[in-house]
Amino acid sequence: MSEMLKVAVLGANGRMGAAAVDAVGEAAGMELVAALGRADSLEMLRDCGAEVVVDLTVPSATEANVRFAVEHGMDVVVGTSGWDAVRLESLQALLADHPESGVLIAPNFALGSVLATHFATKAAKYFDSVEIIELHHPAKVDAPSGTALRTAELIAAARRAAGVPAAPDATETELDGARGASVEGIPVHSVRLAGLVAHQEVLFGNAGEGLKIRHDSFNLGSFMPGVLLGVRTVGTRPGLTLGLDGYLDLEG
């Protein structure tokens, strides 16, 4: 009798999906039972006995995929974006009818990035000053990055909750843009440089000391340990979990 966890990957022809197919195929304790592309029928998930479905598709397809999987008793790990409040509410309702099913929806599977954001949020209230520098390849179309925006929002919320005043800043004369974009009062600076991939620094300062938390993502491989952690854990976490940090052991 097999002890292998049966895993299916949706979006297997995309870059992330293809990497996940490889990662699942090589991971101990897992068996890849399906690798489906856009044209394949979801019925194949049932036929192959998938226990965990990894959804790495597109915003227009992800909701139907997840619903199908939950309705058929599978757990789901989702790396696709597009889950707004309406979709999440609808999914919660579905999960109420399937209390044994687990769904993880994570905007970011890089363990290091998730840890960096968690630590930055924890540190936020202990420092007078905080700024974010994110650095990416020059083909990126948005600035700041989504990760930087989210990090800034979490830091700003933590500082508001603790009653930390605005960071000191005596700037009187500024060349337009020099002090970065302000995201809820947190300055965010976006660097675009040939040779880079995806990098972020959160800088904290008090009188006499500084703390820097930097994450570097060098390639897609950085997401796979997080995807596999999700696949291994989702079966033990019924209901909806938002963010990989929910699966990390960060307390105490």
Structure tokens at 174: 């500024």
Cα distances (angstroms) measured from residue 239 to each of 8, 94, 108, 251: 20, 10, 19, 21
The answer to the question of whether 44 is labelled as a binding residue is no
Residue 72 appears among annotated catalytic residues: no
Question: With CB under 8 A as the contact rule, which of the stretches 33-41, 43-51, 61-69, 104-112 interacts with a second copy?
Answer: 104-112
- At 100 the three-state DSSP class reads coil
- At 241 the three-state DSSP class reads strand
C-alpha span between 239 and 53 (Å, rounded): 15
By CB under 8 A, residue 242 contacts a second copy: no
We find the least distance from the C-beta atom of residue 203 to a second copy, in angstroms, to be 6
Structure tokens at 165: 């005043």
Number of residues that bind a second copy (CB under 8 A): 82
Site for a second copy in 137-166 (CB under 8 A): 138-144, 149
Residue 140 appears among annotated catalytic residues: yes
C-alpha span between 100 and 149 (Å, rounded): 34
The answer to the question of whether 214 is labelled as a binding residue is no
Kindly report the number of other CB atoms within 10 A of residue 149's CB atom.
Answer: 18
By CB under 8 A, residue 117 contacts a second copy: no
We find the least distance from the C-beta atom of residue 57 to a second copy, in angstroms, to be 22
Instruction: Give the residue numbers of the binding site.
Output: 11-16, 79-81, 106-109, 137, 146-147
- Extract the annotated binding site for NAD(+): 11-16, 79-81, 106-109
